[in-house]
Amino acid sequence: MPPITCESIASHPDFVPLASIKDLRVDLRYATTANFMGRNMYSPLDCAWAHRDAVNGLLLAMAWLTRQRRGAHLCVLDALRPQRVQELMWAALEGTPLSQYLAPPARGSIHSFGMAIDATLVDAEGREFDMGTSFDDMTELSHPTLEAAFLQAGALDNAQVSNRHLLGEAMRRGGFHGISTEWWHFDCGDRVAVRAHYARVL
Ligand SMILES: [Zn+2]
């Protein structure tokens, strides 16, 4: 699939504005200064979009969550991240141990296809569930694969791990897959298939 520009997605049939999804909370951290870069990475771009396949997954995740836990709401922290922004982030972290948290631009991020979602859970008042770390906390404490060890060591408690599992299970019901290093990140479907069959947003 040929790439498309972020400026053209509003007229592209495969992309859906997050604001059109009823009951979905959206708090795009890279569109604020509350992120590891400390500045708004998206302005003047509108990045509150996702591919329609990911949006269908979000709808399934939200429906399951509503049935499972009254008062738990899905909140999207990042969705479409254009390749040009991915490149800026990579430039900031390249050569540091933190680069393990970013896909190198040559391979690219699934976010740049509108097919990855960073999310957390919030209550009816918009307060975030305690996940043990904040979004974009680039430490081992954020690694889902190390949760059992951190639980045993007392660095995470049962409530925090159970909140992460509730989020993860909701996203799995929507066809998303988590990754080993970030509790908040989920890819829609198979990453290899996304890179092969979806259009990258530049
Ligand atoms: Zn992510």
Domains, the chain, in order of start with CATH, read: 6-197 (3.30.1380.10)
HSE-up of 3 (CA within 13 Å, CB side)? 12
DSSP-derived 3-state class of residue 146 = helix
Could you tell me if 161 and 40 are in contact, meaning their C-beta atoms sit under 8 angstroms apart?
no
Which residues, other chains included, contact 130 with Cβ-Cβ below 8 Å and sequence gap of 6+? 159, 160, 163
Q: Kindly state the average pLDDT of the residues 165-189.
A: 97
Question: Is residue 68 pLDDT above 90, yes or no?
Answer: yes
Phi, psi of 52 (to 5 degrees): -60, -30
Q: Kindly state the average pLDDT of the residues 37-58.
A: 96
Average pLDDT for the chain: 96
pLDDT band at 100 (very low <50, low <70, confident <90, very high): confident
Catalytic site includes residue 128 = no
Q: What is the pTM of this model?
A: 0.96
HSE-up of 13 (CA within 13 Å, CB side)? 0
State how beta strands 176-178 and 49-51 pair: unpaired
Ligand 1 centroid to Cα of residue 151, in Å, is 24
Question: Is residue 36 pLDDT above 90, yes or no?
Answer: no
Q: Kindly state the average pLDDT of the residues 161-183.
A: 97
Ligand 1 centroid to Cα of residue 44, in Å, is 21
DSSP-derived 3-state class of residue 180 = coil
Q: Kindly state the average pLDDT of the residues 56-72.
A: 96
Alpha helices in the chain (DSSP H): 52-68, 83-93, 147-153, 158-173, 191-197
What is the percentage of the chain residues whose pLDDT exceeds 90?
A: 89
| Res 1: pLDDT | 86
Ligand 1 centroid to Cα of residue 135, in Å, is 10
| Res 138: pLDDT | 92
69-73, 99-103, 139-143, 178-182: range with lowest mean pLDDT: 99-103
Ligand 1 centroid to Cα of residue 51, in Å, is 14
pLDDT tens digit string along 105-117? 888 899 999 999 9
The pocket of ion ligand 1, defined by CB under 5 A, consists of 118, 185
Question: Is residue 197 pLDDT above 90, yes or no?
Answer: yes
Among the listed residues 7, 147, 169, 182, the single catalytic one is 182
Question: Is residue 135 pLDDT above 90, yes or no?
Answer: yes
Ligand 1 centroid to Cα of residue 163, in Å, is 18
Ligand 1 centroid to Cα of residue 118, in Å, is 5
